[in-house]
Amino acid sequence: TQLLEQSPQFLSIQEGENLTVYCNSSSVFSSLQWYRQEPGEGPVLLVTVVTGGEVKKLKRLTFQFGDARKDSSLHITAAQPGDTGLYLCAGAEGAGSYQLTFGKGTKLSVIP
Amino acid sequence: IAGITQAPTSQILAAGRRMTLRCTQDMRHNAMYWYRQDLGLGLRLIHYSNTAGTTGKGEVPDGYSVSRANTDDFPLTLASAVPSQTSVYFCASSPQGRGEQFFGPGTRLTVL
């Protein structure tokens, strides 16, 4: 069973600060997704990374897939209260795989 | 609006009762999934279906059953509910050959 370890588990920062969330595994994934979940709602897909070393930007969010496709990071620049939520990474085991392995998430609180 | 709907939104159930959680998607996705989300344990896969007419067991299938009679619907049944099945249940779907999953809003189930 492939595992994804996310760190930190909890993060509380002031508005305007930068932060990085990590997602690590000893296994190789064909693709990796990042989701954000707000209280009382389902996870919402933010991005998918597929190629080792790939970097994707979504406004103030930067996602990177490790060269070996075993790890990923999410960097948020100038965090805002609207960024508050649970950030989940999830990996697909093989090309065309229907199943995802989810990390346990990083709970981010951005204080105004 | 395209997406996934789940019903009911929440339910309180007596132990030993039978309960079916409903999930419907209108995106014509081949694959569908049921997860439970518990504090400290993250999202855990209960059952999945890669295409209509087929189902498979996930990480925590005991006490649950599913059926996939058509592309759109994927009900989850608890034959005889127990308190340990108290959780938030999410249904998700995925396009063929891609890892990204799209989640419903969840059903909060309490078994007393």
Tell me the per-residue pLDDT of A74-96, one tens digit each, with 9 for 90 and over: 999 999 999 999 999 999 876 65
Q: Note the pLDDT tens digit of each residue in B32-85.
A: 999 999 988 889 999 999 999 999 999 999 999 999 999 999 999 999 999 999
Q: What DSSP assignment string belongs to A95-112? A: TT---EEEP--EEEEEE-
CA distance A90 to A101: 5
Q: In percent, how much of chain A has pLDDT > 70? A: 95
> Is B99 close to A44, i.e. CB distance below 8 A?
no
Answer yes or no: is pLDDT of B25 > 80.
yes
Task: Report in angstroms the alpha-carbon separations of A92 from A4, A54, A73, A103.
Answer: 11, 16, 16, 12
Using an 8 Å Cβ cutoff, are B65 and B79 in contact?
Answer: yes
Q: What is the pLDDT of residue A34?
A: 97
Q: What is the pLDDT of residue B32?
A: 94
Question: Does residue A30 sit at the B interface (CB-CB below 8 Å)?
Answer: yes
pLDDT category at A2 given cuts 50, 70, 90 is low
- Nearest residue of B to residue A94, measured between CA atoms: B99
Max CA separation in chain B (angstroms):
40
